[in-house]
Structure 1
Amino acid sequence: MDSIKNRRSIRKYKQDEIPASLLNDLLEEAFRASTMGNMQLYSVVVTRDKQMKEKLAPAHFNQPMVTGAPVVLTFCADFNRFSKWCRARKAEPGYDNPISFLNAATDALLVTQNFCTLAEEHGLGICYLGTTIYNPDQIVEILQLPELVMPVATITVGYPDECPSQVDRLPVQGLLHDEVYHDYSVEDIDRIYAYKESLPENHRFIEENQKETLAQVFTDVRYKKADNEYMSGILKATLKKQGFEK
């Protein structure tokens, strides 16, 4: 599919509405994704209302595409629905644990990727927001998610109003391992990251952040240890609040 080979994240959208019929059809097709035990352990919250998008924006560090996109989709790991079905059928569920969260999160992410691929094939633009797992507590409150429901991915969707350059990807040889995992030598790392480190935009990135290497931009600026530990605490607390941790 050309839409996969040519894909890029879209952060600026036209204000044309996405027809509800198209969005529903794409989601219905996305729901054909593989799923643990055919349980479909996910739910999707569709946000079109301007005020609701404004409420969600701070949870996503006020990235402008949250309020600028016609539609924001929050994909959730959901064992609530299945557990209620179990109890209604004289079966006692045991899904208040981390492995159940991981199963439901995997289901939700498979559906998320299916939707993104389908949306782009139909001429829509999307942007994946990793901030969902940074501030899950805020999203839980805003979207009124009950116990055993946890947000895992947010996608902004709309008709593109930009065509940014594609970002680089590591060479396929650096990602594949035949039969078993082959650990990387220093020479392997140099070869795999050579192209990324050679790009002018990444050289500018280093200069703007006053660092010596591109790796330092990631470790010291973008994804710092202290931030990771802080947000890990929020994630653990929210998993407990939502019933996936005892």
Structure 2
Amino acid sequence: MTDKTIADLIEDRFGLATDDGRDMPAEGELAAILRHRSHRRFKPDPVPDELLRVVLAGAFSAPAKSDLQQCSVIVVKDPEIRAGINALVAGQDWVPGAPSLLVFCGDNRRIRRIAQARGKPYPNGHLDSFLNCAVDAGIVLATFIRSAEAAGLGCCPISVIRDRIEEVSELLGLPDNVFPLAGMGLGWPAREGWVSLRLPPAVTVHTDRYDDTALLEEIDGYDRRREARFSTPADKQRMTNEYGVAEFYGWSEDKARQYATPQRKQLARFLNSKGFGLD
């Protein structure tokens, strides 16, 4: 039993005072979701195969668009394949330290093969097919995180594998109409981690119509709340050669710098080569 309430957890997550959930104890699934934190440092202990299968069973209990179930997961066990992926994402130095590595894939191949086996046409090989399986895989990935945390494990998605999507696909033997959405480092957390401050609901939640009139002032407030909690040291600022060392380096400055250069421009070409129509 805890004296904390859901309101306390919301305040911790957003850095804003609220009475929402003040009468709700900080217990159960909702509290666990609000306490979520990513983990990039793990103990060396392996994740037992049985436990991994249990966590995956939880992940694949996620909702699926039209019951199509268009996600597949590759559990990377082969040391050579693991080493190859580690090398491709060398900028993420925590990945080799994760006892388990998984790759979540959007899988439009199954429904195409089923249609062929049942003697039916598949006239839907356009952009919506890609979106459907990408969203399915994303929901399974998010549910995997919840399942893993419920079992006491820690994890963190690895989107950087899409920087090297061709090589990752080749290493994993992915056929046409299957693509890697994200990797996942999994293991027993070596430390507690911290709650990452999120954008305020005033920015992310709209009623009836989209309205970002107050966006910049809300972002400024968020930047300052976040910087007060976790200040970015000068040596962690991005692209200082181009933009210098900022006296105040908030979340918005970091993200603006992060996306100031082109990223993953090869994705459309790769997806087309894998049989996804993007029209």
Q: Give me the TM-score of the superposition, normalised by structure 2.
A: 0.78
Bigger Rg, which one? 2
Question: Take 1:17 and 1:24, find their aligned partners in 2: how far apart are those partners?
Answer: 14
Quick check: 2:202–2:218 contact (8 Å CA) kept in 1?
no
Listed as ranges, the gaps of 5+ residues in structure 1 are none
Q: Whole-Å Cα distance in 1 between the matches of residues 39 and 104 of structure 2?
A: 18
Distance 1:9 1:200 in 2: 15
Alignment-derived partner of residue 129 in structure 1: 158
CA–CA distance in structure 2, aligned partners of residues 197 and 29 of structure 1: 36
Residue deviations 1:192-221 (CA, integer Å, cap 9, x gap): 43312444523645599413543343333x
Matches within 5 A, 1:98-137: 98-137=127-166
Judging changes above 3 Å, is the alpha-carbon distance between structure 1 residues 192 and 164 closer, same or farther for their aligned structure 2 residues?
A: closer
- Answer with 107-116 or 32-41: which moved more: 32-41
Contact 2:62 2:140 in 1 (8 A): yes
- For 1:29 and 1:187, locate their aligned partners in 2 and report how far apart those are by CA, in whole Å: 40
Seq. identity, %: 29
Give the drift of 1:38: 0.4
* Residues 1-246 of structure 1 aligned to structure 2 (within 5 Å): 1=29, 2-185=31-214, 186-202=216-232, 204=234, 205-206=236-237, 209=240, 210-212=245-247, 213-214=249-250, 215-220=252-257, 222-225=258-261, 227-228=262-263, 231-232=264-265, 234-245=266-277
More off after superposition, 20-29 vs 115-124: 20-29
CA distance in structure 2 between the partners assigned to 1:200 and 1:146 by the alignment: 43
Does structure 2 retain, via aligned residues, the 8 Å contact 1:56–1:66?
no
SS in 1 for 2:94: helix
Q: Which amino acid aligns with 2:75?
A: V
Question: What letter is aligned with 1:180?
Answer: R
Task: Specify the code of the residue in structure 2 equivalent to 1:223.
Answer: Y
Root-mean-square deviation (CA, aligned residues, Å) is 2.2
Counterpart CA distance in 2 for 1:207 and 1:57 is 23
Q: For the residues of structure 1 that align with 2:275 and 2:194, how far apart are their CA atoms?
A: 42
Question: Which 5+ residue runs of structure 2 have no aligned equivalent?
Answer: 1-28
SS of structure 2 residue aligned to 1:134: helix
Q: How many residues align?
A: 241
Q: 1: CA distance between counterparts of 2:34 and 2:80?
A: 35
* 1:50 CA drift (Å): 2.8
Q: Does the Cα contact within 8 Å between 2:148 and 2:154 map onto a contact in 1?
A: yes
Q: Using the TM superposition, give the Cα deviation of residue 143 of structure 1 relative to its aligned residue in structure 2, in angstroms.
A: 0.5
Shift of 1:54: 1.1
Output one character per residue of 1:54-91: Cα deviation in whole Å (capped at 9) or x when no partner. Answer: 10123324423322112111111101122111111111
C-alpha distance in structure 2 between counterparts of 1:208 and 1:201, whole Å: 17
Structure-2 change in CA distance of 1:140 and 1:181 (3 Å): same
With structure 1 as the length reference, what TM-score do the two structures score? 0.88
In structure 2, the CA distance between the partners of 1:100 and 1:197, relative to structure 1 (3 Å rule), is same
Higher share in helix: 1
User: Is 112-121 or 91-100 further displaced after alignment?
Assistant: 91-100
How many Å separate the matches in 2 of 1:207 and 1:245?
A: 35
